Structure 1
């Protein structure tokens, strides 16, 4: 059983827009995303970011904050 992180798919247009506004960057590790809460850069995969499904739109999205910040935010409530 493999537990390797799975990268999320982005179109070239989504990636270019994300780089332009400072949400994404490309490093030697691959595509990285900036967490909106802590401001740290993490690889854009399911190890660091939580996907969620919007049934009305029938598609997956990725939360803006990293998993650690999301956990911390929910712990406070």
Structure 2
């Protein structure tokens, strides 16, 4: 179950991996490709940084020069 809070910045969403709150926008969360009934985008449960660490560990590895020429 996702957790949302209202702050002076607007609606913030909690990342389930790190537990931090970020604004509920596509700047901090990836979209799932679905739109809710109220017209807002459905967002992933992990923030972008945690999503990259968890599901795309090879992305960091491919940009290292030592990895390319090993």
**Inter-partner Cα distance in structure 1 for 2:55 and 2:8:** 32
Which residue is equivalent to 1:75?
56
Where do 5+ consecutive residues of structure 2 fail to align? 35-40, 59-70
> How many residues align structurally?
52
CA RMSD of aligned residues (A): 2.0
**Inter-partner Cα distance in structure 1 for 2:27 and 2:42:** 15
What is the deviation of 1:74? 2.1
Which residue is equivalent to 1:35?
15
Max Rg structure: 2
What is the deviation of 1:50? 0.5
Q: TM-score scaled to structure 2, two decimals?
A: 0.64
